[in-house]
Each structure stands twice: as C-alpha cells, then as structure tokens.
Amino acid sequence: MTGVTGHSAQARQAASDPYPRPRPRPPGVSGGPQGHTGPRRGAAHRAQVRPPSVRDKRAYVRLGPRGVLAVIGLGAAVVIALWWHSTPDVRGLGGWLTGAGEILGLLAGYGVVVLVALMARLPPLERGIGTDRLARWHAMGGRYVVSVVVAHGLLILWGYAVQAHTTVVSETAALLTQYPDVLMATVAGFLLLGVGIVSMRAARRRMSYETWYYLHLYTYLAIALAFSHQFAVGVSFINNLAARFWWSAMYLTVAVLVAWYRVAVPLRAFARHEFTVIGVKAEGPGVISVYIGGRHLDELAAEPGQFFRWRFLTRSLWWSSHPYSLSAAPGSDVMRITVKDLGDHSRSLARLRPGTRVIAEGPYGAFTAADSGRGVLLLAGGVGITPLRAIFATLPGPVTLIYRASSERDIVFRDELDAIAAARGGTVYYVVGSRAEIGGNPLSPRLLRRLVPGLDQHEAYVCGPPGMVAAAVGALRAAGVPRKRIHNESFEF
C-alpha cells in the first residue's frame, strides 16, 4: 500500500501532539501519531519500556574531528622537525632525493601508528568521532601511507644510486644484502602494498568481508618487520637515543592500547556480564530480533543509537564479529538487536539457540542524541530504523520519525513505533513504496518540509544504507538544515 492513510491517527494527533498540524499527505506517506497497541510481554517488553529519558552524555573530554586531525598534523610536523634536526645539510641531487626519501620514511613510520591508533577502539575517539568516520579516515589514510611507503623506497634507492654514482639496480642489490634489516623492511613494504591493493574497492567487492579482514591483519606483521630498519639505517635515529626512545614509546603505547581495548576489555566484559542469547523473535520478512541477556548491563553505559560488535560463540560464528545497533534502549539485564539478513552472518542469527554465549565489544559509536532543546527529526531507511527506534523511545521533546521502506511488508516495529508515538506525543510517518509508486523523490526537500514544519530549526538524525543516507543528507541540506545539525550513520564501514 502506498497511498495516504491514517486519518483516524490524525485525529489522535490533535489530542496527543502538543503541536497539532493536520496536513494533507503526499502519496506513499502514511502514519502520523498512531494508535497504542499495548506493550509486549517478556524480554521484548522490558527492552522497550524504559522511561523516556536520555542519559547525560558521558564526561569524556571530547576532542572533535578537527581537534583530532590537528593533533595528527602536529605529530607529522614534529616528525619533519626530527629529520631537520638530524640533517645538517643537503647537497646535490642525490642529497635531495635521499632527504625526501628519509622524510617520507619517517612519515610512513608515524602514519602506520596513527592508522592503527584510529582502529584501536579508543573510547574517546569512538565516542567523540564515531566509528564510521574513523573507518573512513583509516581507509583514506591507508591509501596515503601505502603511497608514501612506495615513494620512500623509490626515492631512497634513486638518491643512494646518484650519491654512489651507480645504477638503481646495483644499489637495490647492495641495500638488500648489505644494509641491516632493509630486506625485512622491503618484505614489509610489499605486504603493505598487497593489503592496500586488496582494500581497493574493486578488489574488496570480490571477496567476503572476513577474507578481506584477515588479509588486512598482515598489516601488523608488516609494521613489526619494518620497525627495526628505522633505527638501523634511519639518520634521525642512529645517533639520537632520545629519538629512539620516543619513537619506541609511541609504537609500544599504541600496541598496548590495541591489546587492551580490542582484546582485554571485551574478554573482561564477557566474564563480568556473561552475555547470553535469551531468545530470537521474527520481526518481518528476513528480519529478526535477538535478545541478549547479561548481568550488570547498566555498567556498560550503552546509549540508544550505539552499537556493539557481536561475536556469537557457536561453531560457525565464533570467528567473526559483526556490528549491530541496539534496537531498544538497554535494560539492566537485557539488550536487543534487530538484524536484516543481508548475508551469511546476518542470516545465520535466526538459528541462534537460547543459552549461546556472546562476546559483545562496545558500546561504540557517536550516533547518539542529546536534548538540544530543538525539535528532532529522525530519518530511517530500511533496517536503519534500529538505532532510531531506540532513540525515538528515549529522547525527550517533540520528535518526528520518518521511516522510509520499500513496501509495507518491510516495515518493522510498526506496533512499537506507533505505541511510542502515542505514549510520547511523537509523530511517525511511513514513506512507503518505490519512486515510481510514490511519483518522485521519496525524501524530497519539499516533502520533508511539508511533514516537518520548521524543519530548518531541527536536529536531524539519519540512518540507513549508504545511498539513502547520502540522499537524505542532501535533501535536508536543501531544505535548509545546517550540516552541523545533521547527524548520520551509515551501516557500512
């Protein structure tokens, strides 16, 4: 059904919405404040009926994206200063080529540490920057670092050859056989190049996420192999004990952080909270909810909108962890995720048995909502409804949810959303149908402005598949919402 429905709901809206605004509905839009269907019993009920309050944001010292980029840039400047300090003069073409190669080598050595730190699951970064943005920075930075590594090798070879009045080929042989640790570093360089190639979009699309992920782990081996050549042949380190100390401290610190946040913390949480599947419920075609019980879950301080990386300890699933958002605010002993079957992992969750143990890594993500005193628009596409469902139930103030789905069958949580809207005076619109059925852009700026009066004064939260998120952000910008008030999460790293 793609036509206008929900007239009786509109009548209820007048009674329950503090800002009643009866308006004609465009094709494909139904909803508005809905009837209360009553809460469900059991775990589902407990997960969905937390009081409508929002936790205060945790007192992290928040370094925004610009602050973090500034710190990274400052580190790069210090690295160049280190080279400057250790290089009294540069002479001739060979000297310039070698100098450029040395600077790039230092930047590459620093860059790999930054790349690993971005993925170390550091809470202030995860919370302040957001996992999806960190992953984008990591991917982009990875391309730069691999290019810098290749350029470093070529410039050093060329520079040494010019200085030694020999050919690049014989200089290559000399470097590999006579210079300490350079052979290992060369292997490391090729490993990094290989990881860079398999991470390119075209190559990545041809392999499963897990294959790519495990190949990607060779980066750690590459970093270890390349480490010692920096001290053995790097002019900035050979005679500078303090530089060697600080460089080693930088590598060691990041290694400890990775081990702590990616391994120790999840294992400690597993022991403390005893995460266990307590039930699976079908929500719609190809969509299920998994209820995960545990002890002291409030200590996790998970917020609506955040996600965990879930590792279900069955014979076929234990070796991979996947990100799924909380689809209801967590209770003290139960959490809920809702999953659409898009591949092997998501499909197999329907077969989970109660009692399955789970390692839950998180909470992660900066896609959380604070009470800004403004009206709030939540814009969900498909299974992107999951974090917004949790936010919708807890965010105080007037909240409008627009839920875009391809067909009525694809709408999940309809009863819950209507119940939340009725209980809280919120508004839900279902924008259902294909572009052809709706007769135009399903999320046009005009439609958004029509559904949400005063839209340009709202905070907007968008979640869904990457294409939908990009289109919705564009439409919101065109409708006058400033970029800084549009918060979005895409279900893809």
What is the contact surface with ligand FAD in residues (CB under 6 A)?
A: 131, 208-209, 307, 320, 322-325, 337-340, 342-346, 365, 383, 386, 491-493
The distance of closest approach from Cβ of residue 338 to ligand FAD in the complex, given in angstroms and rounded to an integer, is 6
User: Between 234 and 365, whose beta carbon lies closer to ligand FAD?
Assistant: 365
User: Between 247 and 491, whose beta carbon lies closer to ligand FAD?
Assistant: 491
Residues 471, 474, 475, 481, CA torsion sign: positive
Side chain identity, residue 449: R
Residue 440 CB neighbours (<10 A): 12
The distance of closest approach from Cβ of residue 485 to ligand FAD in the complex, given in angstroms and rounded to an integer, is 21
Residue 23 CB neighbours (<10 A): 11
The distance of closest approach from Cβ of residue 417 to ligand FAD in the complex, given in angstroms and rounded to an integer, is 15
User: Between 115 and 448, whose beta carbon lies closer to ligand FAD?
Assistant: 115
The distance of closest approach from Cβ of residue 209 to ligand FAD in the complex, given in angstroms and rounded to an integer, is 4
The distance of closest approach from Cβ of residue 238 to ligand FAD in the complex, given in angstroms and rounded to an integer, is 42
User: Between 109 and 382, whose beta carbon lies closer to ligand FAD?
Assistant: 382
- Report which residue's Cβ sits closest to ligand FAD: 343
C-alpha–C-alpha distance, residues 66 and 77, integer Å: 16
User: Between 16 and 338, whose beta carbon lies closer to ligand FAD?
Assistant: 338
Contact assessment for residue 159 and residue 101, using Cβ atoms and an 8 Å cutoff = yes
Q: Are strands 399-405 and 427-432 parallel, antiparallel or unpaired?
A: parallel
User: Between 2 and 306, whose beta carbon lies closer to ligand FAD?
Assistant: 306
Contact assessment for residue 325 and residue 305, using Cβ atoms and an 8 Å cutoff = yes
User: Between 234 and 381, whose beta carbon lies closer to ligand FAD?
Assistant: 381
The distance of closest approach from Cβ of residue 198 to ligand FAD in the complex, given in angstroms and rounded to an integer, is 14
The torsion angle over the Cα atoms of residues 160, 162, 163 and 165, rounded to 10 degrees, is 110
Contact assessment for residue 310 and residue 301, using Cβ atoms and an 8 Å cutoff = no
The distance of closest approach from Cβ of residue 493 to ligand FAD in the complex, given in angstroms and rounded to an integer, is 5
User: Between 270 and 307, whose beta carbon lies closer to ligand FAD?
Assistant: 307
The distance of closest approach from Cβ of residue 230 to ligand FAD in the complex, given in angstroms and rounded to an integer, is 32
The distance of closest approach from Cβ of residue 413 to ligand FAD in the complex, given in angstroms and rounded to an integer, is 12
Distance of CA 446 to the CA centre of its chain: 30
User: Between 339 and 447, whose beta carbon lies closer to ligand FAD?
Assistant: 339
User: Between 197 and 342, whose beta carbon lies closer to ligand FAD?
Assistant: 342
Query: How would you class 141 by CB atoms within 10 Å of its CB: exposed for 0-12, middle for 13-18, buried for 19 or more?
Result: middle
Contacts of 296 (CB under 8 A, 6+ apart): 272, 273, 332
C-alpha–C-alpha distance, residues 359 and 269, integer Å: 8
Contact assessment for residue 289 and residue 44, using Cβ atoms and an 8 Å cutoff = yes
Q: How is residue 143 written in tokens? A: 């391309």
User: Between 378 and 438, whose beta carbon lies closer to ligand FAD?
Assistant: 378
Residue 34 CB neighbours (<10 A): 25
The distance of closest approach from Cβ of residue 293 to ligand FAD in the complex, given in angstroms and rounded to an integer, is 18
Residue 87 CB neighbours (<10 A): 15
Contacts of 214 (CB under 8 A, 6+ apart): none
The distance of closest approach from Cβ of residue 346 to ligand FAD in the complex, given in angstroms and rounded to an integer, is 3
User: Between 161 and 300, whose beta carbon lies closer to ligand FAD?
Assistant: 300
The distance of closest approach from Cβ of residue 415 to ligand FAD in the complex, given in angstroms and rounded to an integer, is 19
